[in-house]
């Protein structure tokens, strides 16, 4: 969408929150279905869900500790406070350091190459810049 509205002078920012184990009761409140027949329909999913919170905690700890879910609101407030033309295209907020910024950079490169071939250079968004934090993954020039 950002690419399509850019020629009209409209900016777009996508906020991508990850999994949070702090500041939310998501994993504590997650429950299996009340009826065995319903739970059976989900196959192994219920068993897989049982340890996800602990696994995310371990991954967060290995990467400097869990972000609190309030980091999503903080990131949104920071982006909206930025001057026009300096806002990132994508704000990824997670503590697991999954590396999605690398995937985004490759996608940007391929999209820009295609648009150049089509003669639609005005639709090419500024290149992503590597940031110091996951939240800064896509910074507009």
* pLDDT tens for the 141 residues of the chain, in order: 887 887 788 888 888 888 887 777 766 666 767 778 887 888 887 777 777 878 888 888 888 888 888 888 998 998 889 888 778 788 888 878 788 878 888 888 898 899 999 999 888 876 664 433 443 443 332
Strand partners, 22: 68
Strand partners, 35: none
Domain range annotation of the chain: 1-20+67-141, 21-65
Whole-number Å distance between alpha carbons of 140 and 89: 7
Which residue, chain included where needed, has tokens 């997670």?
94
Q: Please give the radius of gyration of the chain, using alpha carbons only, rounded to the nearest integer.
A: 19
pTM, to two decimals: 0.65
Positive or negative, the CA dihedral 69, 71, 72, 77 is positive
How many C-beta neighbours within 10 Å does residue 89 have?
A: 21
Q: Where are the beta strands (DSSP E) in 1-141?
A: 14-17, 90-93
User: Residue 37 belongs to what H/E stretch?
Assistant: helix 36-41
SS3 (DSSP) at 42:
coil
């Amino acid at each position: 969408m950002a690419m399509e509205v850019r020629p009209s002078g409209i900016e777009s920012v996508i906020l991508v929150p990850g999994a949070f184990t702090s500041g939310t009761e998501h994993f504590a409140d997650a429950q299996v279905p009340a009826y065995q027949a319903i739970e059976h329909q989900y196959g192994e999913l219920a068993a897989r869900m049982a340890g996800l919170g602990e696994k995310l905690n371990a991954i967060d700890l290995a990467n400097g500790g869990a972000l609190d879910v309030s980091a999503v609101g903080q990131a949104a407030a920071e982006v909206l406070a930025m001057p026009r033309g300096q806002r990132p295209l994508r704000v990824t907020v997670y503590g697991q350091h999954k590396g999605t910024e690398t995937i985004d950079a490759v996608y940007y490169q391929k999209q820009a190459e295609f648009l150049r071939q089509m003669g639609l250079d005005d639709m090419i968004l500024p290149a992503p810049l590597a940031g110091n934090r996951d939240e800064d993954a896509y910074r507009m020039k």
